[in-house]
Amino acid sequence: MNNFLHPRPVVLAGEKVFLSHIFAEDAALLAQWFADLELTALLGQQGRSFTLEQEQQWIAARANAVEHERTFAIVLRDSERLIGTCSLHNINLLHSTAELGIAIGDKTVWGRGYGREAVQLLIEYGFRYLNLYNISLWVYSFNERARRTYLAAGFREVGRLHGAVHFNGQRYDRILMEVTRNAGGR
The ranges assigned to domains in the chain are: 12-135
Q: What is the pLDDT of residues 33-68, one digit of tens each?
A: 999 999 998 888 888 999 999 999 999 988 877 789
Residue 21 makes CB contacts below 8 A (sequence gap 6+) with 8, 9, 11, 72, 73
Say what the pLDDT of residue 185 is: 40
Q: What is the pLDDT of residues 17-26, one digit of tens each?
A: 999 999 999 9
Q: Say if strands 134-140 and 97-104 run parallel, antiparallel, or are unpaired.
A: parallel
Q: What is the pLDDT of residues 69-120, one digit of tens each?
A: 999 999 999 999 999 999 999 999 999 999 999 999 999 999 999 999 999 9
Cβ neighbourhood burial of 82 (10 Å; 0-12, 13-18, 19+) = buried
Q: What is the pLDDT of residues 111-168, one digit of tens each?
A: 999 999 999 999 999 999 999 999 999 999 999 999 999 999 999 999 999 999 999 9
Determine whether domain 12-135 maps to CATH 3.40.630.30: yes
Say what the pLDDT of residue 6 is: 66
